Chains A and B, each alone.
Chain A
Amino acid sequence: MRNLILFIWKHYFVFLFLLLETLCVYLVVQNNNFQRAGFVNSSNQVSASVLSTAENIQQYFYLKSENERLAKENAELHSHDLLSFSVLVNDQYSVNDTLFRQKYSYTSAKVVNNSTNRRNNFLTLDKGSKQGITNKMGVISSSGVIGIVKDVSENFCTVMSVLHSKTTISAKLKKDGTFGPLNWDGESFAYATLNDIPTHVRLVQGDTIVTSQYTKMFPENILIGTVESYFRESAKPFYTVKVKLSTDFKKLTYVYIVNNMLKGEQEILEKNSEADKKE
């Protein structure tokens, strides 16, 4: 035993190195696990407060373009407003609406940290568990899909953007509903890849790609992008489609976090069916 301690003491440099490296690898692996919340990320208090201060200063430079964008969005919302529809019948009546019920609610959030030039890109938003954000919620902006919430702290959350190797979004062609998984190949922040589109589908450059009805994180028909080009890998009956993303990930300031109110119910039901199948 004494010799062992002497041996370790003599080569303490190597052992300390191995110890620290193991710790690092543990952190990397743990953080890769989507379900577990990582500790070392930019939603912790110290780094988030530094980053949000920097972002506050930076925002002044984008005020003009941001104002223009908000004015545009306002104009669009006004066109959906009741006041902009003319009343056809003068009689007043109230309807207890049992055909529609609210499924999604939205929380607006400010982007305090963003990256586009790495293989795995993240955003940090200034909304957290205090505002009712939980992980795996979808994030969209007025121009399209942004990503999925990963870690949540009290006042901040981090988002795996579409530009992340592990983000997969169920997407479909708007014109005929053919769906497939959308990934990012790491080449350019303006393009993503849509896989598994059968070759009998007639694709045209400029076709709209939207979120499919099979994702629990996003409402259906949220814009993702347009078809840029497509090719068929040899011996596969599928097209691989290059999608031009509608969102400019370099110019994000305000985004919306999507809360699917019926997600819990759906998940419990599906879990029960899964359990039955195994028996």
Chain B
Amino acid sequence: MANVIIRNIIRFFLLVLVQVLIIKNIELGRFINPFVYVLFIVVLPFETPKWLLLCIAFILGITIDMFYDTAGMHAAACVFMAYLRPGVLKLFSPRDGYEFGTQPTIQYLGVPWFLSYAGILVVLHHLILFYIEVFRFSEFFSTFFRVLVSSIFTMLLIVISQYFFQRKKEQE
């Protein structure tokens, strides 16, 4: 149990630093802003209490906000995503429920399951984030395009990082 907590705390700082020091400085054109840090909320253990989930999402969002100068926007999107996570998990649950001690990762539940589960959460997060950032309807379609393209890149990076850490675990 303590092991899981420590691993998640390390993952928190690692993802925040990767996001604000590396990904923030990579510019792939004006429409593409991947936000890989949401991976943290996606792969939290199944047993995480619901209140803790919301609080962690809020803290994560505020931390990212400090670096992006977007007071509250990332926090709002993260909390919204964390709120919907239990529902999405229930939607995709296998017939016998999730095994105890597993995590919602490719490693335990396979690629198709992970793509649909993480995909929905990432798109929802990006939708809220980009529309709060723009805050007007006149740029509706260009914002929607940004949401889609950015989500695809975020998913790409998330899946790559999953395989990256999976291989490491097998070596141990």
Contacts and interface: CB of A to CB of B under 8 A. Distances in A.
Given A24-B75, A115-B24, A119-B134, A186 B139 contact: yes
B66 A21 contact: no
Contacts of A23: 58, 72, 75
Contact of A28 (B21, B29, B73): B73
Contact of A24 (B30, B67, B79): B79
A28 B76 contact: yes
A40 B24 CA distance: 18
Contacts of B51: 12-13, 16
A25 B30 contact: no
Contact of A42 (B62, B69, B133): B69
Contact of B72 (A27, A42, A50, A187): A27
B24 A17 contact: no
Contacts of A41: 66, 69, 71
A17 B81 CA distance: 10
Contacts of A17: 54, 79-80, 83
A21 B79 contact: yes
A119 B54 contact: no
Interface in B38-58: 50-51, 54-55, 58
Interface size class for chain B? 20 to 34
A23 B78 CA distance: 13
A246 interface: no
Interface string A21-48: 1011111101100000011111010110
Interface string A84-117: 0000000000000000000000000000000111
A275 B58 CA distance: 45
B59 to A, nearest CB: 10
A51 interface: yes
A186 B139 CA distance: 10
Contacts, number: 94
Nearest to B133: A119
A103 B14 CA distance: 48
Contacts of B29: 117
A212 B15 CA distance: 45
A120 interface: yes
Contact of A117 (B33, B76, B80): B33
A79 interface: no
A105 B27 CA distance: 35
B69 A158 contact: yes
Contacts of A25: 72, 76
Given A51-B67, A118-B133, A186-B139, A40 B72 contact: yes
B132 interface: yes
22 contacts: A12-B51, A16-B51, A16-B54, A16-B55, A17-B80, A20-B55, A21-B76, A23-B58, A24-B73, A24-B75, A24-B76, A25-B72, A28-B72, A41-B69, A42-B67, A44-B66, A47-B67, A51-B20, A115-B68, A120-B70, A124-B69, A187-B30
Given A20-B79, A41-B69, A119-B133, 7 more contacts: A21-B79, A27-B71, A28-B73, A28-B76, A42-B69, A46-B66, A50-B21
